[in-house]
Structures are given as structure tokens and as C-alpha cells.
Structure 1
């Protein structure tokens, strides 16, 4: 029997109820949703993601679209990661978000491997697996959707994965609040601003007045190089 609740206490405390697979498929089969699924760059956001009932099924369907749009294993490597990069979720409960990440990683790895081997007769690319893991961990966040903060009170941060000509991708971070308010990106990488050396041979306080910490950003890279997470 399909699991709908974990416990009555969790239903009472958090309103946690899982959506049955049949209902998930009925909702995703709606024509207006299908048209978005068929657009690899259309994004989907699940504000109460649970263990990933909707996101896992969306991933499967988007990977089929990526398969149909690909004429080679190399192109599918790129399009599979593009499809994955458009799926976002927030989940409040820690055990659920751990399962969400695991389910997304497992689903991607299985579906990608099957398509590469069955359609293209090729070998799986470990860099695709590694890059997919980075995308999933960035796009699936533990936090409070209504308050727009993580479990430790920090702003929820999401990454945009913008395709650039030449099969490249530019990763840019936004707070969830800035996405809603359309106020632009953070302008840096979380935790990666350049620090000033307090012990350098210079007049620190004079230098402080004229020098701001240099903001950093993710380097433009190929889709299968996302796993390197290079910062410039």
C-alpha cells in the first residue's frame, strides 16, 4: 500500500500528507503542465516538496523530452543536466529533504544510465553524475517557504543555471525573497567573498576605506563541468 502519512503526530504538527502517485500523474497530465514539461528550460518549483513525489515524476518526464531532443550521447549529457536544473524544491522537515535529495539523485542516475545505454549504446559519464549531484543539492533546500529562511535562519538561496551559447552554463545565486520580489541576484557566491588580510603590511584602516571585499561568482563552464564549482 502506498504511504500517505508517516504518523498522525506529523500530520497534526506539520500538516504532512503525501500525494499518491495516481494523483501526481493526473495533475502532471494536464495539457498546460504538459506544455511546460516539453519545454526543457521551463522551471518548476515545489514549495512543500516532501520526499519528491512531484519532482521525481517531473524529472522522469523531462529526461524523456531531453532524450527525444538529443541525437547523440554528448548532446544528451548536456540536455539531461539542463532538464534537471529547472526543478526546484523547498522542504521543511530534515528527514524528508534527505529523502528528497536521495530520490532525485537515484532517479536521475537510473534514468540517465538507461537512456545512454539503450538509445545511444554509450557509456555513462561520471562527470554527468557528479554535476547532477551538485545541481540537486543546490536546488533542493531545507527551509520554511513562507518565511523564506533555512533551518538556521539564513535566507534561502537558489541557483539559476542559465544556458549560454556553446553548450555552456552560468550559475548565479539568488535569495528566494529576491526571486519573489524580482530584485536581482546576490552578486556573489554564498560564503565566498574575498577577505581582507588584517595582518598584511599596510595601513589596514586606511585601506579599509578605499577597498571593498571583491565579490566572486561561479565561472562560466560546460554543463558536465558543473561539479568542479569553480569560482572567479
Structure 2
């Protein structure tokens, strides 16, 4: 028997969207809880019997199936599985968000994990997440080069402005609309957690890891050499 009080360590991590969906018994699509007339859970609401299980032992929502002999049967009328009411304590549902959101562990922690990974200050990250600033999420190199060729005869300051565009650059509302009007085919930008998610998808973690390991090894070797020379 598993001894729940005897353990060496506890690890807490965030579940992926796919993992949450695999745990879920159904999607909650309505904010309602209990119907004030019938005093029964609203279908597809936060207390939905079809998702979380029946409120009465071995009785479906519509009453078509009653009794332990129907255990495990899913009612073809209301969609509720005939089971003990205590399954409502363990079953989970899920809510499909209209757009991505950032988790406070990664956005607000000290240090900010998202900020470190994307090379953004906490203030810059907050401006994107709270829809105050746009952030460039990708650069289309070919259209940018064509635009540069067309603008070679124009002012050098405008060319520098175009060359300085890179992923992670923050733009104000006015800057975004001005650049989008001129060079809309060159870059994509967005606001909120969806923009941060799009940049995260393009981050090569293996490449970053290899680079950091090489830097650590190089630092260790140089330190060892300096230490050896000091004893010589």
C-alpha cells in the first residue's frame, strides 16, 4: 500500500494543454452553475453532470436510469454516466480559452523565466502581455530585402529604421501602424500572450543549451589555467 506520508521530495509542474484535455471529462462552455427553477446543474456549466458525474448515486440527470444495476451505462438521452455521486470530487473538466494567457509563474517570477528566455525585461514583457505594446514575432527576409532595394534612393534614416527591425522589438501603437503601413509584408507583430507564445515556438532550446554548455566549459578551463599559472 502506498504510504502518502513517506516521501523524499515533491515536484510541482504545470500540465500541458494536451495533458489537461486528457484528464478532462468534457469542456465547460457556460458560466452557469445551478438552474434556479429545477435546482439541478446546468448542462455544459460549471457543475454539469455529464462532465463531472451525477449528483445522486446511480441516477442519471433525466432519471431514465436509476439503480446500481445500470452502473457504468451512459444515458443516451442526457449523456450522464450512471455512477456514484462521489466521482464528482475527482473528475475534471476544462475550459478552452479564446486566446493564450501567460502563467504567473513564468511571467511574474523572480527572475522572470519568460523574460530571460526571450531576452526581454520584465517591464517589456508586461507591456506585451497587457496589450500595451506590440512585439515583432517574425521577420520575412525576402520582402525586407526587396523593400530595402526600393528605398535605397530615399533617406538613410528610413533605411536604418527598416534594418533595425528584429524579433523582440517593441513598438508603440503609432510606431506599429506607421511601420505596418509602409512595410507590412516585412514583419509580423502582435500583443498579449499569443505574441509571446508565437516567439517561444521559434526558440531553439537545444541550440541555447549547447551554447551555454560550451560557455561553461570554456569558463572552467580558463579558470583552471589561471589557477595553475598562479601556483607556477
**How would you bin the TM-score normalised by the shorter chain?**
under 0.3
Which structure shows the bigger proportion of residues in strand conformation? Answer: 1
**What TM-score results when the alignment is normalised by the length of structure 2?**
0.28
Give the structure with higher Rg (CA): 2
